[in-house]
Amino acid sequence: MFLEPHFKAQRAGWIEVICGSMFSGKTEELIRRLKRAKIANQKVEIFKPKIDVRYDDVKIVSHDSNYIESTPIDHSSQLLELTKEVNVVGVDEAQFFDNDLAEVCQELALRGCRVIAAGLDMDFRGKPFGPIPDLLAVAEYITKVHAICQHCGNLATHSYRLIQEGDTVLLGEKESYEPRCRTCYKMGNILDFKPLQNDTNSTSTDKDLFS
């Protein structure tokens, strides 16, 4: 479990990234850290991209309905204007932000903010997602969380899309994606095919009875 660093008299802040596949508990971990910062009387603000309107306009909601109030913004540069006097800046669904996000987070850290960003490290194609690679490169602390593969029970690193649509930005729900390990992800829709029901036995038995 991540233990918050505590550097007395440190002038600069730092960047933490929580990344992983869908259903890996990224948002839960973000909420846990932010709640602890609030308990420690830190001034906390949370932001998410306007594109993420799955459940609620202003709340960050994780899949287990744990939530915390947040501000939807259009562009990462707004973080610089909206976080004066703030100690801890939370960013959820960071993968949907623009490519300036890493630069903005570094600016916030230099100002003395603790920045905690959570996001998908890979899209459903298994490719690095949006500004996350840049953010990982400049972060002081990285936590990679894992879901459980729905097919084999191993640790899941990939988000497999069950609906075949072209767009990278398909906001995820349980019916659209499933977490898979590397091997099961590679097997693709082979895993969707169920073994054929073998009811020829009963038919042949019937035939036998009448022969």
Q: How far apart are CA 194 and CA 8, in angstroms?
A: 58
Q: How many residues bind Zn ion (CB under 5 A)?
A: 6
**Contact with Zn ion (CB under 5 A): which of 142, 148, 152, 191?**
152
Closest distance of CB 57 from Zn ion, Å: 36
Instruction: Provide the minimum distance between the beta carbon of 150 and Zn ion in the complex, in angstroms, as a whole number.
Output: 8
Q: Alpha-carbon distance 95 to 135, whole Å? A: 10
Q: What is the smallest separation between the CB atom of 188 and Zn ion, expressed in angstroms?
A: 12
Q: Which is nearer to Zn ion, 34 or 181 (CB)?
A: 181
Spatial distance between the Cα atoms of 43 and 38, rounded to a whole number of angstroms: 7
Residue with tokens 């593969």: 149
One-letter amino acid identity for 91?
V
Spatial separation of the C-alpha atoms in residues 73 and 112, rounded to whole Å: 22
Single out the residue of 103, 151, 161, 191 in contact with Zn ion (rule: CB under 5 A). Answer: 151
Q: In what order do the strands lie in the sheet with 114-120?
A: 71-73, 44-49, 88-91, 114-120, 14-20, 141-145
User: For residue 99, which phi and psi values (nearest 5 degrees)?
Assistant: -75, 0
Q: Counting contacts by CB under 5 A, is residue 184 touching Zn ion?
A: yes
Told to judge if 93 belongs to the known catalytic residues of this protein, a careful annotator would answer: yes
In the set 149, 157, 158, 179, which binds Zn ion (CB under 5 A)? 149
Nearer residue to Zn ion within complex by CB, 144 or 151: 151
Q: In this chain, which stretch among 22-30, 74-82, 177-185, 203-211 interacts with Zn ion, using CB under 5 A?
A: 177-185
CA distance 180 to 167: 20
Residue 146 binding Zn ion, by CB under 5 A: no
Q: Which of 16, 29, 45, 93 is catalytic?
A: 93
Residues at the site binding Zn ion, with contacts judged by CB under 5 A: 149, 151-152, 154, 181, 184
Catalytic site residues?
93
